Amino acid sequence: MRLSKPRKQGQLGISMTPMIDIVFLLIIFFMTVSQITYVNDEPLELPQLAGTDDQETSTFTINITSEGSIVISGRTVSLSETLLFVGQELSARGGDPSQVKIMIRCDHRRSSDLVNELVRKLSELGIRQIRVGVQVSS
């Protein structure tokens, strides 16, 4: 069985095999890279700082956009809903506030009013520490 047509003598043909190899490698690369996104993390412009530690896995991530919306797991929620979720998380962990690791990712252009309000409410719930997300400057 002959799959390819016999090439006429003296005619130059483009070899497809290496090109397909490269294209497949590129596809695999982009497929892999595009998976490395975290569902809980909204695309935000965080403050550009060195930070103190590498990000640990938090139990609860609160995203605050530059417009002042609170986004949790891709859903825009109100402040009272946020506190309700934190309360649920707290009771799911036996009511121990030290077990709830809250990460606040706030856009650097946003004023601190929402974070302040959140901190006041979290303090009432007995939470004593938060994590603040920063972006390492490239």
Residues that bind other proteins (CB under 8 A): 16, 20, 23-24, 26-27, 30-31, 33-34, 36-38, 41, 43, 46-47, 49-56, 64, 103, 106-113, 115-117, 119-120, 122-123, 127-136, 138
Neighbours of 90 (CB within 10 A): 20
Q: How far is the CB of 37 from other proteins (least distance, A)?
A: 6
Nearer to other proteins, 32 or 80 (CB): 32
Q: How far is the CB of 20 from other proteins (least distance, A)?
A: 7
Neighbours of 60 (CB within 10 A): 20
**For helices 113-124 and 79-92, angle between their N-to-C axes, nearest 10 degrees:** 40
Q: How far is the CB of 130 from other proteins (least distance, A)?
A: 6
Is residue 70 helix, strand or coil? strand
How far apart CA 45 and CA 97 sit, in angstroms, is 29
Nearer to other proteins, 72 or 125 (CB): 125
Nearer to other proteins, 83 or 119 (CB): 119
How far apart CA 96 and CA 74 sit, in angstroms, is 26
